[in-house]
Amino acid sequence: MVLVLSKGPIMENMSIPLRDLPLDGTGPAYRQIYRSIRVAILAGRAPAGGRLPSSRWLADDLAVSRNTVIAAYDQLLAEGYVVSRVGAGTYVAPQLIEERLEGQVRSKAKHRRDAGPHACANVAEPRLSRFGARVSAETHRRVYDALGSRAPVEIDFMPCVPGSRALSSEAWRRCVARELARVSDQNLSYGDPSGVLELRRQVAVYLNRSRGVECDAEDIAIVSGVAQVLSLCSRLLLEEGDAALIEDPHYIGAKHAFEVAGAEVVYASVDDEGIDLDSVPAADRDRCRLAYVTPSHQFPKGSVMSLTRRLALLEWAERVGAFVIEDDYDSEFRYSGRAIEALKSLDRSERVIYVGTFSKVLDPALRLAYVVVPKGLQDVFRKAKWMADWASPAFEQRVLAHFIEEGEFERHLRRMRTQYGAKREVLLGALSNAFSDDFEYGKPCGKPTKKPNGPNGKADQIKVFDSRAGLHLLVDLPSVPERHTHAIGSRCLQQGVAIYSAKPYYRTPPETCQLILGFTLPDEEAIGRGANILAEAVRSI
């Protein structure tokens, strides 16, 4: 298509050709015409003051209706690219517009012509804040990355993800339908930053009964995942240069949140009794303003924090004026004995920020979690939540409130505990069979006893750390150096099995190969095959 513009009604024979204006074939015809003329104006091929062809002439030339061309012209007029003169026609906007666009848009249009239709224009290097610079410097990765690949696999031992999709259940659909029937203009408006009141009430009742946490709806905020709690607390409680305490090994998300806030991360070692404050020099420990712990099922080792350690942590927090984030990420899944009561249940000085999530028990896609906020932080936390995203999705919160109120949530938990408990036993048995006499089952953080090497002089001893809870097992191959972990993972991937290294979760990498194996996603038959493939990969090193 070639458009011809003239300099005015009395200069029809002094037209200026505009080339390279093909219709792109995407969307309605009027939008295609609009885009072609707009590109010509921005690129300078249609000079300021140039007259566009009449709508009748252009319609005939393009074999479209005149109304189609008029619609394109109207859009250009509304956006200021052209002006219309009654009785005289339609013209490219005057010189002022061209001068404003010349230094900015024309250079971009030239770059597109020179570099191709899909190239992006060169942009200036942004001046980032110190926070932005720290975010930019972070290596972007998923929290749980399979060794060597994120491609789909047949058998996936990804940890800490639910294997049963609650949001596709008939019970969830009924709650969705019931909420849709009740929907109104009022409850489709922006919600309370703290969350829907009905859901907060249900969560408070559940926590009082199941976790020993004394709270009411006013103490609870509904958030978009644990990551949001870490981000908000880091910004509210840490100044640049402050120190923050985490476990070692640790959850990567907490480490990243503290570091991008400008804090220095201080590491405390973990043993059979959980985090050990005495492993940190007193001067370093006492300058920490915030701590992050997983006391009911330490990630990734699985140990349970002893009462002595819990009381010591609370005493330390009160003495130095620090807050403790308690991430109770998978406490619903305990396969032996009663559930361990939360650290928050012992908190008498309002130092513990208790966090729970629905991602591990329902679906990660729901993106809803809850936090019990200490009294002194409730007002500022609510304001920070409002500034972050106004509020978490209200419709889903109301559906979830019905799901809990009708007993479906706890029925789902009971089913999942039974299912996951059976899979856990299958994985333990499969590892025992696959590694023959070299299997050792021990306490959460106990050190394995050395045993003879496996067939052909290859080391295939295995030790499983377990606290009879959660959604994963930590597996140690004490006779296999850590440097072989990637090779083992690559050989498993070749057989369609994804395994996960524990190395990223340590400040100092372990000397031996350690793996985090989730057991919720594969079925029981696949768990057995995956364990055999892992054993063969280990023996092949």
pLDDT tens profile 455-498: 444 444 788 987 789 999 999 999 899 999 999 999 999 999 99
pLDDT at 118 over 70: no
**pLDDT digits 0-9 by tens, 133-170:** 888 887 655 656 655 455 678 999 999 888 877 788 89
For residues 271, 273, 279, 285, the Cα torsion angle rounded to the nearest 10 degrees is: 130
* Pair 270, 277: CB distance under 8 Å: no
How much is the CA Rg of the chain, to the nearest whole Å? 31
More confident residue, 17 or 84: 84
Percent of the chain clearing pLDDT 90 (strictly above) = 60
First to last CA, the chain: 65
User: β-strands 500-501, 512-518: how paired?
Assistant: antiparallel
pLDDT at 452 over 50: no
By residue count, the chain amounts to 541
**pLDDT digits 0-9 by tens, 172-219:** 999 999 999 988 777 777 889 999 999 999 999 999 999 999 999 999
Q: Is the dihedral of CA 147, 153, 157, 163 positive or negative?
A: positive
Q: Which CATH superfamily is domain 155-160+416-539 in?
A: Aspartate Aminotransferase, domain 1 (3.90.1150.10)
Average pLDDT over residues 278-291: 97
Q: In this structure, how many other beta carbons lie within 10 angstroms of the beta carbon of residue 484?
A: 16
Domain boundaries, the chain: 3-115, 155-160+416-539, 213-332+339-391
Contacts of range 319-323, beta carbons closer than 8 Å, 24 or more positions apart: 319/286, 320/286, 320/287, 320/288, 320/289, 321/289, 322/245, 322/288, 322/289, 322/290, 322/291, 322/351, 323/233, 323/237, 323/289, 323/290, 323/291, 323/351, 323/352, 323/353, 323/374, 323/377
The owner of tokens 């969350």 is 195
Percent of the chain clearing pLDDT 70 (strictly above) = 84
- What CATH fold (topology level) applies to the domain 3-115? Arc Repressor Mutant, subunit A (1.10.10)
pLDDT of residue 340: 81
**Residue 412 has which token pair?**
């789902």
Listed in sequence order, the DSSP H helices in 282-439 are 282-286, 307-320, 378-389, 394-405, 408-434
Confidence band of 399 (pLDDT split at 50, 70, 90): very high
Q: State the pTM of this model.
A: 0.81
* E strand or H helix at 477: strand 472-481
Structural class in CATH, domain 213-332+339-391:
alpha beta
pLDDT at 454 over 80: no
Average pLDDT over the chain reads 85
pLDDT of residue 110: 52
Q: Where are the beta strands (DSSP E) in 261-331?
A: 264-271, 274-275, 288-293, 323-327
pLDDT of residue 15: 42
pLDDT at 43 over 60: yes
**pLDDT digits 0-9 by tens, 13-31:** 334 444 445 677 788 989 9
- The Cα 307–Cα 240 span in angstroms is 33
**pLDDT digits 0-9 by tens, 494-524:** 999 999 999 999 999 999 999 999 999 999 9
